[in-house]
Chain A
Amino acid sequence: QSVLTQPPSVSAAPGQKVTISCSGSSSNIGNNYVSWYQQLPGTAPKLLIYENNKRPSGIPDRFSGSKSGTSATLGITGLQTGDEADYYCGTWDSSLSALFGGGTKLTVL
């Protein structure tokens, strides 16, 4: 059971928009930045969003992040079949331990 709560799965049609939520508490998300990671099947996770809403070089602006209080959200617009992956939110807690959400499997119908 992860400290950060994500929906197990989300789905949407190609071209549509989807959002993935990540819920935590004041001891983690509430007082720290949130990052998001994309894990394509059979590969290592890849940084998608950092500092709540910033994209590393090379990440298209179809991907966005936001944070409010003790929750964060990843948004993906213009869905493509290549976006099918597991998505994880991440942050830190007050004891300097890294935390990950349980992961959300995105299916592009």
Chain B
Amino acid sequence: QVQLVQSGAEVKKPGASVKVSCKVSGYTLTELSMHWVRQAPGKGLEWMGGFDPEDGETIYAQKFQGRVTMTEDTSTDTAYMELSSLRSEDTAVYYCATVFIAAGTSSSFFDYWGQGTLVTVSS
């Protein structure tokens, strides 16, 4: 059973950066494909990007390219998502989530989710 525990809420000023962490237990990070999804207040889910084990690269949603960086520390099984040049529209709950990929098929889906981290961007 995978457990994902995220860092606590953050308040940032416009233009600043935020780094959210996601600690994995139950599995090692190298066994997982970690992704990040955000949800603005009262809005739906928005995929930001994640690790593609097929080619060993991180894929970012076009909307966030150049502003988001997703990294992993395999020594501590912790994933990080850093978002820069924050603006008020970035106020949201940020989730880490693992993607299960069935070998030999095109099946992949989000199977485990962190509890979410609220990031508030306000002057």
**A interface residues, Cβ below 8 angstroms from B:** 2, 31-33, 35, 37, 44-47, 50-51, 56, 88, 90, 92, 96-103
Contact = CB atoms under 8 A, between A and B. Distances in A.
A98 to B, nearest CB: 4
A23 to B, nearest CB: 15
Nearest to B99: A98
Contact of A98 (B47, B62, B95, B106): B47
Nearest to A2: B44
Interface in B71-118: 95, 97, 99-100, 102, 106-111, 113-116
A101 B47 CA distance: 11
Contacts of A96: 52, 59
B106 A33 contact: yes
B35 interface: yes
30 contacts: A2-B44, A37-B45, A37-B110, A44-B95, A44-B115, A45-B37, A45-B45, A45-B95, A45-B113, A47-B109, A47-B111, A50-B107, A50-B109, A56-B111, A88-B44, A90-B45, A96-B52, A97-B59, A97-B62, A98-B35, A98-B37, A98-B47, A98-B50, A98-B99, A98-B110, A99-B47, A100-B37, A100-B44, A100-B45, A101-B44
B47 A44 contact: no
Interface residues of B, number: 26
A100 B46 contact: yes
Contacts of B9: none
Residue among A44, A47, A103 with max Cβ neighbours from chain B (10 Å): A44
A100 B61 CA distance: 13
A50 to B, nearest CB: 4
Given A88-B45, A90-B109, A98-B47, 6 more contacts: A44-B116, A50-B100, A50-B107, A98-B37, A100-B47, A102-B44
* Closest CB pairs A-B (n = 10): A98-B47, A35-B109, A44-B113, A100-B45, A103-B44, A50-B109, A102-B44, A33-B107, A51-B107, A44-B116
